């Protein structure tokens, strides 16, 4: 039997980049996990359905984090005075080695999943570590929490510390095992092929991962053109490659199945053309790009080319899991990019950045991140009554005030796929 209900409140979302849709004191009608529509008044045919009335609260789509490293959560806020490559060697790799201990992994990962929930992230695309069992446990924890996720066992078989460098065949076999076991195990949690980045993966490994992605129709995630040092290293390793992204493409890891490339701060024009051609998503991570001195991605220019883009927290290069904060920083760095471009690259408005954090990233999951008919009902209920309001505000102004000055304490309820998601358990 199908469930049919409505939630009532001040509804705000973005159907398209840069434009808010607002329905004050309106209703979102939901059938099972999908949205039927947004209505200012309920039709007679809905007169007997359950209505959950959230009063004067805001109803917004759940946030989507398109790029985050779960095992780096203990390092949040640490080492952010270093550039990418020294930061990886000093902080990231030693921490990730700990996840061979499944008890340690479970403690960190349960807190990580809990804190995603706390911050209103309803779906995420996640890097794990090279450790098969820890990655499986992370996927189980997401499923138990009722959140949506793509989770990847990281692949690394060269140019990595000895304690994190896999045997190529073992890396392939472990990845294949997870793909087979978890491909259809959960509705909301799926595997994703995850070569860390070109410097850490041999051609043999990348070729095998591309074949797995194609055969089992599994999406792909990795990093691209984040930092000058990284790009120079890639050029040394692959002197005959025309550009960084072409290496992924050579091995079937660049849009042959749905693909996310994180950062894309320093893409060449040829690389941008290939991103367009292959329909590759970009995960824009403004916090980590600032923290690790990578630069400011030309998001307005990339959007103008039709590239699908979402926002990522990129913890722990980023220092917070809050996607509301990612919206703010995305807008702020775009202001700087506008000045740097002689006022050509138009800054991101609040509506632009909010779109990227909801529907933009949500598109990687399908019909996610909006309140349009047929979309999955992922929703946050925002009580902004404790924020200082000294004059009447529009719904748009209230959302902006929440993004800039609110926090997780303002999030009063979270829905994922039509279900109210309660607080996940933290394992200690």
Average pLDDT over every residue of 407-420? 98
Domain count, the chain: 2
The pLDDT, as a whole number, for residue 1 is: 59
73 and 51 in one domain?
no
Give the phi and the psi of residue 396 in degrees, each rounded to 5: -65, -45
**CATH number for the domain harbouring residue 42:** 2.30.40.10
| Residue 131 preceded by cis peptide, ω within 30 | no
The residue from 331, 347, 365 where one domain ends is 365
Task: State the pLDDT confidence band at 2, using cuts at 50, 70 and 90.
Answer: confident
Task: State the pLDDT confidence band at 113, using cuts at 50, 70 and 90.
Answer: very high
- 376 found inside a domain: yes
The residue from 320, 350, 365 where one domain ends is 365
Average pLDDT over every residue of 111-134? 98
405 and 355 in one domain?
no
- 428 found inside a domain: no
Q: Write out pLDDT tens, residues 319-339.
A: 999 999 999 999 999 999 999
- 262 found inside a domain: yes
**319/218 Cα distance (integer angstroms):** 29
- 309 found inside a domain: yes
- 425 found inside a domain: no
- 427 found inside a domain: no
Asked if pLDDT for residue 250 goes beyond 80, the answer is: yes
Average pLDDT over every residue of 214-231? 97
- 290 found inside a domain: yes
Q: How far apart are the first and last CA of the chain?
A: 39
306 and 282 in one domain?
yes
Average pLDDT over every residue of 223-227? 97
**CATH number for the domain harbouring residue 355:** 3.20.20.140
Q: Are 22 and 350 in contact (CB under 8 A)?
A: no
Asked if pLDDT for residue 400 goes beyond 90, the answer is: yes
Instruction: Please give the model's pTM, rounded to 2 decimal places.
Output: 0.98
88 and 11 in one domain?
no
Q: Are 315 and 321 in contact (CB under 8 A)?
A: yes
393 and 292 in one domain?
no
Q: Write out pLDDT tens, residues 182-213.
A: 999 999 999 999 999 999 999 999 999 999 99
Where do we find the tokens 């090279």? 130
Q: Write out pLDDT tens, residues 254-303.
A: 999 999 999 999 999 999 999 999 999 999 999 999 999 999 999 999 99
Task: State the pLDDT confidence band at 408, using cuts at 50, 70 and 90.
Answer: very high
235 and 88 in one domain?
yes
310 and 405 in one domain?
no
**263/285 Cα distance (integer angstroms):** 6
398 and 345 in one domain?
no
User: What residues does 379 pair with on adjacent strands?
Assistant: 61, 415
The mean pLDDT of the chain is 97
94 and 158 in one domain?
yes
Asked if pLDDT for residue 17 goes beyond 80, the answer is: yes
- 426 found inside a domain: no
Q: Write out pLDDT tens, residues 356-377.
A: 999 999 999 999 999 999 999 9
Domain interval for residue 15: 4-61+369-420
31 and 42 in one domain?
yes
**30/389 Cα distance (integer angstroms):** 32
86 and 30 in one domain?
no
97 and 17 in one domain?
no
- Between residues 84 and 33, the one the model is more confident about: 33
């Amino acid at each position: 039997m199908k469930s049919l209900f409505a939630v009532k409140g001040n509804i705000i979302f973005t159907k398209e980049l840069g434009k808010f849709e607002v329905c004050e004191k309106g209703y979102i009608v939901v059938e099972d996990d999908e949205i039927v529509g947004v209505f200012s008044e309920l039709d007679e045919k809905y007169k007997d359905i359950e209505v959950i009335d959230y009063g004067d609260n805001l109803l917004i789509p759940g946030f989507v984090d398109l790029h985050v490293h779960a095992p780096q959560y203990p390092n949040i806020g640490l080492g952010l005075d270093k550039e990418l490559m020294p930061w990886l060697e000093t902080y990231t790799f030693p921490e990730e080695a700990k996840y061979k201990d499944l008890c340690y992994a479970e403690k960190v990962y349960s807190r990580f999943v809990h804190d995603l929930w706390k911050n209103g992230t309803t779906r995420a695309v996640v890097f794990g570590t090279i450790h098969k069992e820890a990655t499986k446990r992370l996927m189980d924890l997401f499923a138990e929490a009722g959140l949506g996720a793509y989770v990847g066992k990281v692949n690394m078989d060269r140019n990595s510390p000895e304690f994190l460098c896999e045997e190529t065949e073992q890396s392939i076999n472990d990845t294949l095992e997870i793909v087979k076991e978890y491909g259809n195990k959960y509705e909301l949690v799926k595997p994703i092929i995850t070569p860390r980045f070109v410097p850490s993966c041999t051609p043999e490994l990348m070729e095998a991962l591309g074949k797995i992605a194609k055969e089992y129709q599994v999406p792909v995630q990795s990093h691209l053109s984040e930092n000058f040092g990284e790009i120079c290293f890639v050029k040394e390793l692959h002197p005959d490659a025309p550009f960084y992204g072409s290496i992924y493409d050579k091995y079937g890891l660049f849009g042959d199945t749905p693909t996310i490339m994180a950062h894309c701060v320093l893409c060449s024009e040829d690389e941008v053309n290939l991103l367009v051609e292959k329909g590759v998503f970009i995960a824009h991570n403004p916090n980590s790009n600032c923290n690790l001195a990578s630069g400011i991605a030309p998001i307005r220019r990339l959007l103008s080319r039709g590239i699908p883009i979402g926002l990522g927290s990129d913890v722990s290069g980023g220092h917070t899991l809050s996607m509301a904060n990612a919206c703010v920083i995305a807008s702020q760095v775009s202001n700087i990019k506008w000045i740097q471009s002689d006022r050509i690259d138009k800054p991101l408005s609040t509506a632009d950045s909010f779109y990227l954090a909801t529907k933009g990233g949500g598109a990687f999951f399908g019909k996610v991140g909006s309140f349009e008919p047929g979309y999955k009902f992922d929703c946050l209920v925002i009580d902004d009554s404790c924020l200082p309001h000294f004059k009447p505000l529009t719904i748009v102004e209230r959302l902006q005030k929440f993004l800039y000055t609110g926090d997780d304490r303002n999030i009063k309820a979270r829905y994922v796929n039509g279900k109210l998601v309660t607080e996940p358990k933290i394992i200690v």
